[in-house]
């Protein structure tokens, strides 16, 4: 290692302190000469004789020096520096060409670097915990393999206890649950993301607070007074980073909890947590086996592989299933690395994006290669002269590669600039729930990536032109001194091949983008079953007994309904149309509740609590029967409204009104069906409507205290927010409220498809532009090559129109070939998109047809200028030129 | 680039390493020492000596330092590095093997 350093230091010295090294070499040899002379004098020679003898013995001093320099590897570097200087001069001589080439490559490299910096932050960088690869998630899985709702990964504490007690693969094992909770850090209530954690949680993640301490053994005891740890972000936001935050209290569920620690800035788990508190302390956790509301994480023991842990958990789950068939039938566990688990759906999107920009880069390379080929033709004579003066082919190729490397490095440097902005844009456009997106930036691995991309691309676009240029027929080139006929046919063909490849690659991207666009439009045009326009949503939690909460909502709703500009107001526990829906699901029974209900085989439905007026506010049609009203209280007969999907499932061809439904919710009472509502897509446009049973909020204990008030307005719904907020404040200062609109919630749904579609579209557009620049270049070149032939045709009577057609036809032939190859590749490649497409098949003929038409049209545009120039060729000039 | 022709290729490197292992020495002294130690049999031309010295320095086997010589003039003294000492051991062993093998053949025939 130190030897390499020595060598490097010496090489640097030889190159950068050249005069000094040369002087030292002179002095060293001079010394030798003097000693030689001294020796001669000592043996009795005269001074002249001694000097002569010594000089003869020394031999050719100049040659000697050159050899010493060679040994110091100075010449290799000298050549390189000379090549670089020469390359710099060449590029400066044609600044337009250089700028174009650098721009094209910078776009390609910049796009790659930008996407890579996101991939690096989200997928590649290790999590900022100690030994992150040993942190795993344990989630519920189905042994029957059928997909369930988005909540199906969650587990019950009962499951967790079994795993915790029986497993031996883990150092520590914890469960947690994160909710938006009402807290009072000051005098007013607000929402904060609060996570309830079991005792080993921070040991699993190996997290230490940066200020204060972790929970003590006493604080995590069941039924203890509990304590809070807060996130760095919450500390800054809520307490302005005040170090005296320790010991301050935050009110939560009616208790004042002391803050004992602040976690470091890099710690975000789970998600956007503001506050952590020990489980089973100030409130009891839900211990029923159907309360699958928790998630689990664990730290593997150092010597345990993921596969072994999975095998152990599978066998434990099997044991539990046999032991408790009623609660665990068909249920198993999946053990996954936390990073893989966190990344989830975005992985495929990001890798596809990386693939897309790689294709763009390849197109850019092909483009630059055709540019350089054009240049190579013009430089035939220069290369021939160099070859005639004795430069070897290797030496010439090296010179030309140096030139393309210089281009690539300039492009890499400018690409970094593009990437800096591009990465910012990507982060801004990406869906908000992508983990670790904020860590995106230019770091060492991103720089290494850019450097690597520059080196590889310089070979990709530089080698072919360099090899062509160096294979010059000396005699011919020197004799003609011109640009034609020397490297004609082969070169033209190479450029044609490159352009066809560009078109084919662009077609693949264009097809992918077309499919995504069509799918995105389909997603937008889905009938949701409700009207989301102009609906204000106010999430509200009343931390008080149900009767008080009921009264609060009842008063609020009647007040809001009378506000000017409000058409209807209601409240629901789960506003529809969002994949992150907070709705509950359960099974239902019609007419009577069996004595021993077989819950796992009973039909399921979404169960939701609503206030009167909700259907009108959300624009859900009530098809028959009536809406709820204020008379549907806890003391009145229990009632329910079901949707059409449930009618189809449970009452085919019958009238459900007046029948009784039992739901596995908070009460075993039967409910009389009083109405039928239209079906809505509860989980957003991508999922079909599920059967749903609506229940009035005054009749149900569960979640009557947290509802989202929905109000349909005449004008802009957000304009109403402040009025409603002050109404709520007046009524009760400890009620937190949070505003959004139905439309904003819906747009979160399509954030991921919008991101994909937009980026694919942009990159496909870039690819098509680059490919068309290539088509233009190759056609302009062809016209230049054939100018005298075309001149001859015109002289012989060809019309301008027929020349135009000739050239356009040639361009279209290239495009057609590229299109055919590209479509074949697209049919195979777009299969990767299948899981991202909605109501569109990857082989959608309409999309491919559109791609073909679009490509044909832009090809005509790209060919038109050269074709027009060809038709304007003056036959006399063209023929004279030869 | 010409190679030392008066000695088997690589042998000069070995000789230089061996000589400078004894004490730091400048080029002229190294040449003289080789001549003396081989009883005037081996003559090292300057045209071979200096490229070899510079190559060994570039390889990190010897290092150079300017010092005042016995004749009171500035001269470039070469000395063995740690890596050079290791190389010397290996080269010497290799040479022993090679020369032993050659003499064995020469003697029997």
> DSSP readout, A803-819?
HHHHHHHHHHHHHHHHH
- Measured between beta carbons, the chain A residues lying within 8 angstroms of B69 are 31
CB contact under 8 A, A68 and B51: yes
Give the burial string for A687-715 (b: 16+ CB within 10 Å, else e). eebbbbbbbbbbbbeebbbbbbbbbbbee
For A151-204, how does the pLDDT look when each residue is reduced to its tens digit (9 = 90+)? 578 888 888 988 999 999 999 999 999 888 888 888 778 899 999 999 899 999
- Measured between beta carbons, the chain B residues lying within 8 angstroms of A64 are 46-47, 50-51
CB contact under 8 A, A63 and B47: yes
Enumerate chain A positions whose Cβ falls within 8 A of a Cβ in B: 3-4, 6-7, 10-11, 24, 27-29, 31-32, 34-36, 38, 57-60, 63-64, 67-68, 70-73
pLDDT at A656: 92
CB contact under 8 A, A28 and B50: yes
Strand partners, A673: A640
Among A7, A35, A64, select the one facing B28 at the smallest CB separation.
A35
Among B45, B73, B76, select the one facing A24 at the smallest CB separation.
B76
DSSP 3-state assignment of B109? coil
Greatest mean pLDDT range, A10-24, A154-168, A789-803, B42-56:
A154-168
Give the chain B residue whose CA is nearest to the CA of A70.
B1
Mean pLDDT of A124-140: 85
Closest C-alpha among A706, A676, A711, A713 to residue A692: A676
Please tell me if residue B46 touches chain A, with a CB cutoff of 8 Å: yes
Give the chain B residue whose CA is nearest to the CA of A13.
B58
CB contact under 8 A, B57 and A11: no
pLDDT band at A482 (very low <50, low <70, confident <90, very high): very low
For A304-327, how does the pLDDT look when each residue is reduced to its tens digit (9 = 90+)? 999 999 999 999 988 888 888 877
Please tell me if residue B55 touches chain A, with a CB cutoff of 8 Å: yes
Count other C-beta atoms under 10 Å from residue A127's C-beta: 19
Closest C-alpha among A803, A849, A801, A791 to residue A823: A849
Distance, CA of B88 to CA of A301 (rounded, Å): 49
For A538-562, how does the pLDDT look when each residue is reduced to its tens digit (9 = 90+)? 999 887 788 888 899 999 999 999 9
CB contact under 8 A, A29 and B50: yes
pLDDT band at A615 (very low <50, low <70, confident <90, very high): very high
CB contact under 8 A, A71 and B76: no
Give the chain B residue whose CA is nearest to the CA of A27.
B75
Please tell me if residue B74 touches chain A, with a CB cutoff of 8 Å: yes
Mean pLDDT check: name the lowest of A232-236, A484-488, A510-514, B105-109. A484-488
Q: Assess whether pLDDT exceeds 90 at residue A768.
A: yes
- Measured between beta carbons, the chain B residues lying within 8 angstroms of A11 are 58
Query: SS3 string of A171-219?
Result: EEEEEEEEEEEEEECCCCCEEEEEEEECCCHHHHHCCCCCEECCCCCCC
Among A7, A38, A57, select the one facing B60 at the smallest CB separation.
A7
- Measured between beta carbons, the chain B residues lying within 8 angstroms of A71 are 51-52, 54-55, 58
Distance, CA of A367 to CA of A101 (rounded, Å): 8
CB contact under 8 A, B58 and A35: no
Average pLDDT, chain A: 85
In chain B the first and final C-alpha atoms are separated, in Å, by: 37
- Measured between beta carbons, the chain B residues lying within 8 angstroms of A58 are 46-47
Check if the beta carbon of residue A151 is closer than 8 Å to that of residue A585. yes
Distance, CA of A24 to CA of B50 (rounded, Å): 12
Closest C-alpha among A774, A768, A776, A772 to residue A869: A776
- Measured between beta carbons, the chain A residues lying within 8 angstroms of B54 are 68, 71-72
Distance from CA of A65 to the nearest CA of B (A): 8
CB contact under 8 A, B26 and A31: yes
Distance from CA of B75 to the nearest CA of A (A): 6
DSSP 3-state assignment of A880? helix
For A349-399, how does the pLDDT look when each residue is reduced to its tens digit (9 = 90+)? 888 899 999 999 999 998 888 888 877 777 777 777 777 777 777 778 888
CB contact under 8 A, A71 and B2: no
Q: Assess whether pLDDT exceeds 50 at residue A66.
A: yes
Give the chain B residue whose CA is nearest to the CA of A67.
B51
Which tokens in the block code for residue A493?
């063909």
* Distances, alpha carbon A269 to alpha carbons A265, A367, A432, in Å: 11, 46, 16
Between A435 and A856, where is the model more confident?
A856
Distance from CA of A1 to the nearest CA of B (A): 10
Check if the beta carbon of residue A700 is closer than 8 Å to that of residue A665. yes
Greatest mean pLDDT range, A283-297, A596-610, A641-655:
A641-655
> In a mutagenesis test of the A interface, which of B51, B59, B68, B84 is the best target, namely the one with the most A β-carbons within 10 Å?
B51
Greatest mean pLDDT range, A57-66, A467-476, A491-500, A817-826:
A817-826
Distance from CA of A456 to the nearest CA of B (A): 30
CB contact under 8 A, B58 and A27: no
Check if the beta carbon of residue A125 is closer than 8 Å to that of residue A444. no
Between B28 and B44, where is the model more confident?
B28
Count other C-beta atoms under 10 Å from residue A244's C-beta: 7
Chains A and B: how many Cβ contacts under 8 Å? 76
Distance from CA of B90 to the nearest CA of A (A): 17
Please tell me if residue B2 touches chain A, with a CB cutoff of 8 Å: yes
Distance from CA of B109 to the nearest CA of A (A): 38
Count other C-beta atoms under 10 Å from residue A880's C-beta: 10
- Measured between beta carbons, the chain B residues lying within 8 angstroms of A28 are 26-27, 50, 75-76
- Measured between beta carbons, the chain B residues lying within 8 angstroms of A38 are 71
Check if the beta carbon of residue A699 is closer than 8 Å to that of residue A632. yes
In degrees and rounded to multiples of 5, residue A432 shows phi and psi of -65, -20
Count other C-beta atoms under 10 Å from residue B23's C-beta: 11
pLDDT band at A60 (very low <50, low <70, confident <90, very high): low
DSSP 3-state assignment of A652? coil
Mean pLDDT check: name the lowest of A596-605, A617-626, A835-844. A596-605
**Tokens 């174009």 — which residue?**
A100
- Measured between beta carbons, the chain B residues lying within 8 angstroms of A3 are 59-60, 81, 83
For A556-588, how does the pLDDT look when each residue is reduced to its tens digit (9 = 90+)? 999 999 999 999 999 998 899 877 666 778 888
SS3 percent helix, strand, coil of chain B, rounded to 5, is 60, 15, 25
Between A476 and A166, where is the model more confident?
A166
Please tell me if residue B35 touches chain A, with a CB cutoff of 8 Å: no
DSSP 3-state assignment of A150? coil
Please tell me if residue B72 touches chain A, with a CB cutoff of 8 Å: no
> Does the ipTM exceed 0.85?
no
Mean pLDDT check: name the lowest of A223-227, A520-524, A859-863. A223-227
Among A4, A11, A59, select the one facing B45 at the smallest CB separation.
A59
Distance from CA of B60 to the nearest CA of A (A): 6
Give the chain A residue whose CA is nearest to the CA of B83.
A3
Name every residue whose Cβ is closer than 8 Å to that of residue A643 and which is 6 or more positions away in sequence: A676, A677, A678, A679, A680, A689, A691, A692, A693, A694
Distance from CA of B36 to the nearest CA of A (A): 14
- Measured between beta carbons, the chain A residues lying within 8 angstroms of B50 are 28-29, 32, 64, 67-68
For A75-107, how does the pLDDT look when each residue is reduced to its tens digit (9 = 90+)? 677 778 888 888 888 888 888 888 888 998 999
pLDDT at A478: 61
Which tokens in the block code for residue A844?
């959608």
Check if the beta carbon of residue A614 is closer than 8 Å to that of residue A690. no
- Measured between beta carbons, the chain B residues lying within 8 angstroms of A32 are 27-28, 46, 50
Q: Assess whether pLDDT exceeds 80 at residue A589.
A: yes
Mean pLDDT of A8-33: 79
Distance from CA of A42 to the nearest CA of B (A): 14
- Measured between beta carbons, the chain A residues lying within 8 angstroms of B52 are 71
> In a mutagenesis test of the A interface, which of B53, B60, B79 is the best target, namely the one with the most A β-carbons within 10 Å?
B60
Q: What percent of chain A has pLDDT over 90?
A: 30
In degrees and rounded to multiples of 5, residue A621 shows phi and psi of -70, 135
Full-model pTM: 0.72
């Amino acid at each position: 290692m130190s030897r390499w350093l020595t060598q490097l230091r010496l090489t640097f010295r030889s190159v950068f302190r050249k005069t000094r090294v040369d002087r030292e070499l002179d002095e060293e040899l001079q010394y030798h000469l003097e000693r030689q002379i001294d020796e001669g004098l000592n043996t009795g020679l005269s001074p002249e004789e001694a000097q002569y003898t010594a000089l003869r013995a020394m031999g050719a001093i100049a040659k000697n020096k050159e050899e010493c320099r060679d040994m110091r590897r100075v010449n290799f570097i000298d050549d390189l520096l000379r090549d670089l200087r020469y390359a710099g001069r060449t590029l400066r001589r044609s600044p337009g060409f250089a700028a174009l080439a650098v721009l094209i490559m910078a776009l390609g490299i910049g796009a790659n670097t930008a996407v890579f910096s996101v991939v690096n932050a989200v997928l590649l960088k290790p999590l900022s915990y100690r030994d992150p690869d040993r942190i795993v998630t344990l989630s519920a899985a189905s042994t029957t393999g059928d997909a369930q709702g988005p909540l199906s990964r969650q587990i019950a504490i009962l499951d967790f206890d079994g795993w915790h007690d029986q497993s031996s693969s883990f150092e520590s094992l914890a469960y947690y649950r994160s909710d938006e909770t009402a807290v009072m850090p000051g005098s007013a209530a607000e929402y904060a993301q609060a996570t309830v954690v079991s005792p080993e949680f921070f040991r699993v993640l190996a997290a230490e607070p940066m200020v204060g301490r972790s929970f003590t053994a006493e604080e995590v005891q069941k039924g203890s007074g509990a304590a809070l740890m807060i996130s760095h972000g919450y500390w800054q936001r809520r307490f302005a980073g005040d170090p005296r935050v320790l010991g301050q209290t935050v009110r939560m569920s009616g208790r004042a909890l002391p803050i004992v620690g602040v976690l470091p800035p890099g710690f975000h788990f789970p998600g956007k947590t503001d506050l952590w508190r020990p489980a089973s302390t100030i409130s009891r956790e839900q211990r029923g086996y159907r309360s699958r509301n928790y998630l689990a994480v664990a730290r593997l023991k150092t010597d345990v592989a993921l596969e072994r842990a999975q095998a152990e958990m599978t066998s434990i789950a099997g044991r539990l299933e046999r032991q408790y068939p009623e609660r665990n039938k068909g249920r198993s566990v999946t053990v996954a690395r936390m990073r893989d688990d966190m990344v989830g759906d975005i992985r495929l999107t990001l890798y596809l994006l990386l693939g897309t920009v790689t294709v763009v880069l390849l197109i850019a390379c092909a483009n630059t290669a055709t540019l350089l080929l054009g240049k190579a033709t013009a430089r035939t004579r220069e290369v021939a002269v160099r070859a005639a003066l004795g430069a070897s082919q290797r030496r010439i190729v090296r010179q030309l590669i140096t030139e393309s490397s210089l281009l690539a490095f300039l492009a890499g440097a400018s690409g970094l600039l593009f990437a800096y902005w591009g990465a910012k844009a990507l982060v801004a456009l990406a869906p908000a729930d992508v983990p670790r997106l904020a860590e995106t930036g230019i770091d060492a691995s991103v720089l290494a990536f850019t450097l690597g991309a520059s080196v590889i691309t310089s070979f990709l676009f530089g080698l072919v032109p360099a090899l062509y240029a160096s294979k010059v027929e000396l005699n011919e080139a020197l004799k003609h001194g011109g640009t034609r006929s020397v490297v004609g046919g082969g070169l033209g063909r190479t450029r044609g091949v490159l352009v066809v490849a560009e078109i084919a690659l662009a077609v693949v991207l264009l097809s992918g983008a077309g499919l995504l666009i069509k799918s995105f439009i389909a997603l937008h045009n889905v009938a949701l079953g409700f009207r989301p326009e102009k609906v204000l949503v106010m999430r509200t939690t009343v931390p008080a007994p149900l009767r008080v909460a009921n009264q609060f909502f009842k008063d609020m709703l009647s007040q809001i309904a009378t506000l000017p500009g409000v058409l209807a107001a209601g409240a629901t526990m789960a506003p529809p149309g969002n994949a992150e829906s907070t709705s509950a699901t359960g099974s239902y029974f019609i007419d009577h509740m069996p004595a021993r209900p077989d819950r796992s085989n009973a039909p399921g439905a979404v169960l939701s609590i609503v206030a009167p007026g909700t259907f009108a506010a959300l624009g859900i049609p009530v098809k028959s029967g009536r809406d709820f009203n204020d008379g549907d209280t806890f003391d009145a007969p229990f009632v329910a409204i079901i949707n059409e999907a449930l009618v189809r499932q449970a009452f085919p061809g019958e009238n459900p009104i007046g029948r009784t439904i039992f739901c596995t919710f908070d009460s075993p009472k039967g409910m009389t069906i009083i109405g039928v509502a239209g079906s809505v897509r509860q989980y957003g446009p991508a999922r079909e409507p599920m059967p749903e049973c609506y229940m009035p909020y005054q009749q149900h204990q569960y979640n009557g205290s947290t509802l989202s008030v929905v109000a349909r307005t005449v004008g802009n719904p957000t304009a109403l927010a402040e009025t409603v907020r002050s109404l709520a404040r007046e009524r009760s200062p400890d009620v937190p409220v949070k505003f959004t609109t139905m439309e904003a919630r819906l747009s979160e749904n399509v954030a991921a498809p919008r991101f994909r579609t937009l980026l694919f579209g942009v990159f496909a557009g870039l690819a098509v532009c680059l490919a068309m620049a290539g088509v233009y270049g190759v056609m302009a070149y062809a016209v230049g090559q054939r100018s005298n032939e075309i001149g001859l045709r015109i002289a012989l009577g060809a019309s301008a129109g027929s020349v135009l057609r000739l050239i356009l036809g040639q361009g279209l032939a290239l495009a057609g070939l590229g299109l055919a190859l590209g479509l074949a590749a697209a049919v195979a490649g777009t299969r990767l998109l299948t899981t991202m497409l909605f109501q569109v098949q990857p082989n959608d003929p309409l999309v491919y047809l559109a791609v073909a038409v679009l490509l044909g049209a832009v090809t005509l545009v790209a060919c038109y200028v050269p074709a027009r120039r060809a038709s304007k060729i003056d036959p006399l000039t063209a023929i004279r030129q030869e | 680039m010409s190679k030392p022709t008066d000695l088997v290729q690589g042998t000069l490197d070995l000789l230089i390493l061996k000589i400078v292992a004894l004490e730091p020495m400048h080029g002229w002294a190294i040449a003289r020492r080789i001549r003396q130690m081989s009883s005037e049999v081996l003559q090292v031309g300057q045209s071979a000596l200096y490229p070899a010295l510079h190559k060994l320095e570039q390889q990190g086997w010897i290092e150079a330092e300017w010092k005042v010589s016995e004749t009171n003039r500035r001269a470039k003294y070469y000395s063995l590095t740690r890596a050079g000492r290791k190389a010397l051991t290996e080269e010497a062993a290799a040479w022993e093997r090679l020369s032993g093998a050659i003499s064995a053949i020469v003697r029997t025939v």
